[in-house]
Structure 1
């Protein structure tokens, strides 16, 4: 990530939690939809209720994206009240599913 990228990311118009290192994108019926930057990728993570701290309490589901921008766009577009999961992800760690290029027609379980 370049300095310009880091500056843009820190200027996203969403609340940043420095302890959890996450942006909260939205809350829908007590479901917190958040974006978590990782070392090489990013993830949409969700949880019910307010995070009390600690990794065991961190999230209830997670979808991986190639970068923060893709994760933020997918989180913004996703309506968890209407859809089971966001679009565009390439890995769902809890189920072992992968979608090359985020394409649902290419989904495979590893």
Structure 2
């Protein structure tokens, strides 16, 4: 999947050369890990462009990218809808801080309980 919050409609075409180079690099890495890996396999994977609202500023791309990745972590969704960017930032922070995989989660909970 190709995600670009600045060029949302033509991301696959716009980034074609970069994606091909990245696919080749991934193939090389996978070959190191697994000597039977077929070089060129990653280039044959299907590609799609995520339909998402184009960001309206030059500093919110991280929020857009994190939301797109999180929405697609367990399945592919065709579009990501972003509401209020301030609320989306708060949601991402809370979700990540309280995630079971956050090694500092217990410290955060202790800090919050002392307030």
Shared fold per TM-score greater than 0.5 = no
More helix, by proportion:
2
How would you bin the TM-score normalised by the shorter chain? under 0.3
TM-score, length-normalised on structure 1?
0.26
Structure having the higher strand fraction is 1
